A and B are shown apart, each in its own frame.
Chain A
Amino acid sequence: MTLSNRARYALASLMGVGLAFIYIPLSVVVINSFNASRTFSWPPTGLSLKWWSKAIANTGVRQALGWSVAAGLSATAIALLLGTCLAFAVSRYEFFGKEVISLLVVLPISLPGVVTGIALSNAFTKQLGISTSLLTVIIGHATFCIVVVYNNALARLRRMGTSLQEASMDLGANGFTTFRLITLPNLASALFAGGLLAFGLSFDEIVVTTFTAGPGIQTLPIWIYDNLFRPNQAPVVNVVAATLVVFSLIPIYLSQWLSQDSTSGGRF
């Protein structure tokens, strides 16, 4: 495209400013984790690794990580199952209420988390009389994770079409064999991308978790939040925060490596 050099430089510098806006705060978090001083002050007066070893030895952090992984994996498993079923139903069949279902599936992430959170908490504790626990967290997370698996699977199923399955059936394979040998392998990378995003959403979730977590259940975001305003915990919070920034690079590489349907992994 023909653009004057001036316009090109202007756009390039705006891009640079934008990237600086995105990355300066994240770098501050990473640098701050090496800050030797206990209290926050910029620029750091000295660098040290001592808070990293303190954080690794911190049992609260390790326990919270365990809860987060448990909740994330379970919610992802449920979302994979339900989201894939729903994507098959919507892409392969015509039925009454199809529009409603496709609206309903995005509702949990479209409505504010605080609304979903108090609605679920109210339903669990007041209507059903079950006390909150890890299970209620998983149910809450799965509810808003379904949509990302659904979006990924639906996009792939629509692109795949049905001719491969029909060919397989014509050649004598029954429905189960066709699913195992044809449909599932073609769907796998979309399900992986959807599952990855579902796990990411669950791992980072704080609002719904606040309302559905039972006593003693502290996922990593809840742990960070609870310790954010405790001055003597600040250095450990810094280390956890820095670790999360660095770890966010992993899913990006994984999803770039298999992104075929969309750059956003089906958030849209």
Chain B
Amino acid sequence: MNNSIATWMHKRQKVRLLALLAAPGLWLVVAYLGALGALLVTAFFTIDNFTGDTIPGFNLGNFHDMVSDPAYRNVMFRTLGIALSVTLICSAIAIPMAFFMAKVAKPRNQKFLVALVLTPLWASYLVKIYAWRSMLEPGTGVIDWLLSPLGIHSPGFGGPAIIIGLSYLWLPYMILPIYAGLERLPNSLLDASGDLGARNFYTFRKVVLPLIFPSLVAGSMFTFSLSLGDYITAQIIGGKLQMLGNVVYQNFSINLPFAATIATIPITIMALYLWLVRRTGALASL
């Protein structure tokens, strides 16, 4: 019996493929894409001011409100600025660390260093942001205790705190692809550059950087996109500052169509970003 089913299946490739694709295909297309589509359509709906119910229809009013109100424009540019800063800070910290791990550390230490960098990825997101609350707390926080003798004071809760917190959260996502890229980069290239008279920094700029560019782009996909949609970090260490995610979150229960409208901003930015990345061909060479 078992054998005859197996033989029957073996002869029919289409049946096997269909059996494999049916469940995940239905899940992703119907459950996920369907839900996403339904949400985006809601952006064109309006809301009944008395009952708070959504009224289906085609209305661009939400988009008009979003574009015409300078408050939302500010939030959008602030969020973009934060996501870009986080990406730059993560790259600046990650490149030397990844370089040390891949090219300077002894081979037997490499695995250990990778584990050290990876560990915080498994530590809870909330715990890490909570940790930064204790770090940044003005007056009684760890930063003030540690650095006030040097004349440095905690920036307190607000924009800089959000940037520090998000950089902290996503740093491993930047280190790992750069480390992987550097590991693939043959040492002979660096030696050749040195033999031809290039100084360390020149070799870095002309040989290393162009070759790890795809890894940087891969890392930035995480640092940029994860920062773009975040709202919890802003709630915990952002003071009164809002990001796009906070606006979506606040509107979710009172005005779903408007929440959906705001949600189109990060989706559009991410789509543009992915398209740009594809054009540079960075993903293909990963």
Residues of A within 8 A of B (CB): 1-4, 7-8, 11-12, 14-15, 18-19, 21-22, 24-26, 28-29, 32, 40-43, 81-83, 85-86, 88-89, 93, 95, 101, 104-105, 107-108, 110-116, 118-123, 126-127, 139, 142-143, 146, 174-177, 200, 204, 206-207, 211, 221, 224-225, 228, 237, 241, 244-245, 248-249, 251-253, 255-256, 262-264, 267-268
Contacts and interface: CB of A to CB of B under 8 A. Distances in A.
Given A15-B96, A85-B20, A255-B118, 4 more contacts: A4-B200, A25-B128, A25-B135, A121-B252
Interface string B90-120: 0001101101110111000001011111111
* Best-buried of B194, B225, B252 by chain A (most CB within 10 Å): B252
8 contacts: A2-B194, A26-B128, A101-B25, A120-B35, A225-B126, A228-B236, A244-B127, A252-B119
Closest 7 CB pairs of A and B: A112-B229, A174-B6, A123-B35, A25-B131, A248-B122, A14-B96, A119-B39
A263 B114 contact: yes
Contacts of A175: 6, 9-10
Contacts of B88: none
Contact of A248 (B120, B131, B135): B120
Given A29-B127, A143-B31, A21 B93 contact: yes
Contacts of B17: 89, 93, 95
Interface residues of B, number: 100
Interface in B253-286: 256, 259-260, 263, 266-267, 270, 274, 286
B72 interface: no
* Best-buried of B113, B124, B228 by chain A (most CB within 10 Å): B124
A238 B103 CA distance: 38
A200 B192 CA distance: 43
Contacts of B120: 22, 26, 248
A107 B10 CA distance: 33
B276 to A, nearest CB: 14
Given A105-B28, A119-B38, A1 B173 contact: no
Nearest to B260: A118
B131 A118 contact: no
A204 B124 contact: yes
Interface in B238-255: 245, 248-249, 252
Contacts of A176: 2, 5-6
Contacts of A14: 96-97, 100
A255 B118 CA distance: 10
Given A1-B187, A26-B131, A83 B124 contact: no
Contacts of B132: 25
B173 A267 contact: yes
Given A32-B134, A93-B17, A85 B124 contact: no
A244 B145 CA distance: 25
A43 B36 CA distance: 47
Contacts of B130: 29, 224, 228, 237, 241
B77 interface: no
B190 interface: yes
Contacts of B2: 174, 176
Nearest to A146: B24
Contacts of A204: 124-126
A15 B101 contact: yes
Given A204-B125, A248-B122, A263-B118, A143 B97 contact: no
B123 A256 contact: no
Contacts of B104: 1, 3, 8, 11-12
A110 B28 contact: no
B160 interface: no
A158 to B, nearest CB: 14
B102 to A, nearest CB: 10
A36 to B, nearest CB: 15
A110 B270 contact: yes
A101 B28 contact: yes
A118 B252 contact: yes
A111 B171 contact: no
Contact of A245 (B123, B135, B142, B230): B123
A207 B248 CA distance: 12
A95 B15 CA distance: 12
A101 B190 CA distance: 40
Nearest to B4: A174
Contact of A244 (B35, B123, B180, B229): B123
